[in-house]
Amino acid sequence: MRADLPHARFLLVAIGFAALVASSPLVAEVPMGSQSEIPLGISDDLHTDIAVEAWGEAFACEPTFIAESSSCEHTGGVSSTSSPSTRVGYDNGFVIASSANQDLHAGQFAYRLRINGYGQLRDTVFRSDGTNPSLNQLQLKRARIIFSGHAFSPDLTYQLQLDGRSNSGDALRILDYYFTYDVGHHQWDCSPGTFGFRAGLYKMPFSFARSLSGKQLEFADRSMASIFFDVNRSLAWGLYGTTNDLPIPIQWEVAVFNGLVTGGAETGSSGQLDNNNAFSARLNLDPSGSWASGDIADFEFHETLAMRMGAGAVFTTIDRRGLTEFEAIRVVDQGVPLGILLPVAIDSYNVTSFSADVSAKYRGVSATLEYYWRAIDRFRGGNQPAILDHGLWFQMGAFVIPKKLELLGRWSRVQGNSGTLGQQDASAAEVSGGFAWYFRDQHLKLTCDATHLDGAPIQSSTLDIAAGDIGWLYRTQFQFSF
């Protein structure tokens, strides 16, 4: 496909999406009891207490099952004197229906299930000014269903996240699968979150960018620098907690895991992973104000400055026995795997990375800066000097219409000598601008951004960036979440 007139296409798609969604009644707020309710046939000899959390919020119902009778003949099997706001039953398929968000107060129930999900449909146009080909495609970037809750006790929680995307064909994968045990609260009667244990497949504690959910991002996706230094997910076990005795509470987490970017790697004796564990840690604190939601956009329109700061570290040894890990490290600015450039005699090396970040929100304006530093050294099997790379991303957003229209800007840069094996520095940068229209906060939004790439040190189908890309990248993304 051709990428003709990308500027015009970018604007037309944005305007078309905005007009379509803005005119839809789906974006209107739904008041309590304003929706028609689904009739439910019920039987007297059954009584069920149901607590279900779905559509991103909790709702509960206690339907009383009674037999159909003539008194219900004209109300679909439901007595005309009752009008519950939640219905559960079979209506040409199994149905759970709620007329509005409700507060279940189910946090202390022994068993709880919440179902969430979100999808992102993206129109991508890349106009190449280099040797890489241009791109013009519609893509399903994320299609996710999340099951979370707790079992036996509110202190024993679980999460299962399934992910599908068009660049993976028809494959559906397990993205997250883990449980947490709040040891401090359950065993020692400490405040919830004081000390806990986590195990499974999940995001490793390292960077602020990765800690954000894909649906919380202001731009269509993360920055080039954050992916270059990314640790991502892995099978792991770890500890987490909060120090509540200090003037400013500090959240911390540590983990032992299989290796860098190994979440989707095959385990066992397949040769995809080496035998070296990786170790990571992260600290978070809010020095001023209340950060409120996890979003970096200032939906709350803070009247006083709210700040969040953090730092992370990771260390591992990588050797050739693990193909997934040995090819995960990429270099500046070509973006090729480091393993391709290294002499064949080199068998392994160490990787140490640090990150530091600060974010702020004030009166509808948000700003985030995250810096990364990475050292690759102690090469075994050959005489190779140490390699140093560093980079950052700086991003701002400003609501020109509170909670609706946000203007965006971002700069990202990676610099280092990994591409020349320690001989000379090279760099790559991206400059981005765009806007986000929140029809119903993060539940329904449109994002349009334009990015100029001056060489790309990453290979990311999620970002629509290929190694060595030079040119303009235009992305228009529609997001729906519940």
Eight-class DSSP state of 91: S
230 pLDDT more than 70: yes
126-140 pLDDT, tens digit per residue, is 999 999 999 999 999
288: domain CATH number is 2.40.160.10
Residue 446 near residue 470, CB atoms below 8 Å: no
At a CB cut-off of 8 Å and minimum separation 6, what does 481 contact?
Answer: 56, 116, 117, 118, 119, 215, 442, 443, 444
Q: Whole-number mean pLDDT of the chain?
A: 86
Does 29 reside within a domain? no
pLDDT at res. 99: 83
Q: What is the pLDDT of residue 217?
A: 97
pLDDT in tens, 243-263: 978 888 899 999 999 999 998
Tokens standing for 271?
Answer: 């040769």
- The helix/strand/coil state of 8 is helix
- Cβ neighbors of 192 (< 8 A, separation 6 or more) are 155, 182, 185
pLDDT at 427: 97
Identify which has the larger pLDDT, 104 or 116: 116
Domain count, the chain: 1
Whole-angstrom distance, CA of residue 263 vs CA of residue 305 = 37
In whole angstroms, give the CA distance from residue 161 to residue 215. 14
| Minimum mean pLDDT range among 32-46, 98-112, 203-217 | 32-46
Residue 42 lies in a domain: no
Q: Tell me whether residue 323 is in a domain.
A: yes
Does 222 have pLDDT greater than 60?
A: yes
Mean pLDDT for the stretch of residues 223-243: 97
Percent helix / strand / coil, the chain, rounded to 5 = 10, 50, 40
Q: What is the DSSP track for 197-224?
A: EEEEEEE-S--HHHHS-TTS-SSSS--H
Q: Is pLDDT above 90 for 65?
A: no
| 111 assigned to some structural domain | yes
Instruction: Pick the closest to residue 455 from 421, 418, 414, 416 (CA basis).
Output: 414
Residue 46 lies in a domain: no
pLDDT above 70 (res 93):
yes
344 domain residue, yes or no: yes
| pLDDT level of residue 268 (50, 70, 90 thresholds) | confident
Q: Quickly tell me which residue has 């219409």 as its tokens.
A: 401
Beta carbons within 8 Å of 158's beta carbon, 6+ residues apart: 147, 148, 149, 150, 151, 178, 179, 180
Question: Does 35 fall in a domain?
Answer: no
Report the sign of the C-alpha dihedral through residues 103, 107, 112, 113, in that order. positive
d(CA 206, CA 329): 16
Of 58-67, 284-293, 426-435, the one with minimum mean pLDDT is 58-67
Residues 6+ apart with CB under 8 A from 408: 218, 219, 395, 396, 397, 432, 433, 434, 435, 436, 449
Q: Give the per-residue pLDDT at 171.
A: 83
Among residues 121, 310, 291, which one has the least CA distance to residue 211? Answer: 310
Q: What is the mean pLDDT of residues 208-216?
A: 97
Compute the average pLDDT of residues 218-241. Answer: 98
Domain presence at residue 28: no
Least confident of 135-139, 238-242, 293-297: 293-297
Distance of alpha carbon 380 from alpha carbon 476, whole angstroms: 46
Q: Answer yes or no: are the C-beta atoms of 408 and 218 closer than 8 Å.
A: yes
For residue 123, pLDDT over 80 is answered with yes
d(Cα 266, Cα 325) in Å, to the nearest integer?
Answer: 12
Instruction: State the pLDDT confidence band at 96, using cuts at 50, 70 and 90.
Output: confident
Q: What is the pLDDT of residue 246?
A: 84
Residue 393 and residue 155: Cα distance in Å, rounded?
36
pLDDT confidence bin for 23, thresholds 50/70/90: low
Using a pLDDT cut of 70, give the percent of the chain over it.
83
Q: Can you say how many angstroms the Cα of residue 203 is from the centroid of all Cα atoms in its chain? A: 9
Q: What is the mean pLDDT of residues 406-426?
A: 97
Q: What is the C-alpha R_g of the chain? A: 25
Among the listed residues 219, 192, 193, 223, the one whose alpha carbon sits nearest the alpha carbon of residue 208: 223
Strands 250-257 and 278-288: antiparallel
Q: What range does the domain containing 452 cover?
A: 6-14+51-73+82-481
Q: Is the pLDDT of residue 37 over 80?
A: no
Q: Specify the residue for token string 């693990």.
A: 322
Q: Which residue has the higher pLDDT, 478 or 43?
A: 478
* Predicted pLDDT at 58: 37
| Nearest C-alpha neighbor of 39 from the set 101, 82, 102, 3 | 82
Omega before 347 within 30 of 0, i.e. cis: no
pLDDT tens per residue across span 455-481: 999 999 999 999 999 999 999 999 999
Does residue 423 have a pLDDT over 60?
yes
Does 27 or 227 have the greater pLDDT score? 227
Q: Is the pLDDT of residue 33 over 50?
A: no
Dig out the tokens for 363 from the structure: 């009166």
Quick check: 404 pLDDT over 50?
A: yes
pLDDT at 42 over 60: no
Q: Is the pLDDT of residue 62 over 50?
A: no
Phi-psi label, residue 403: left if phi above 0, alpha if psi -120 to 50, beta otherwise: left
Please tell me the predicted confidence (pLDDT) of residue 48: 35
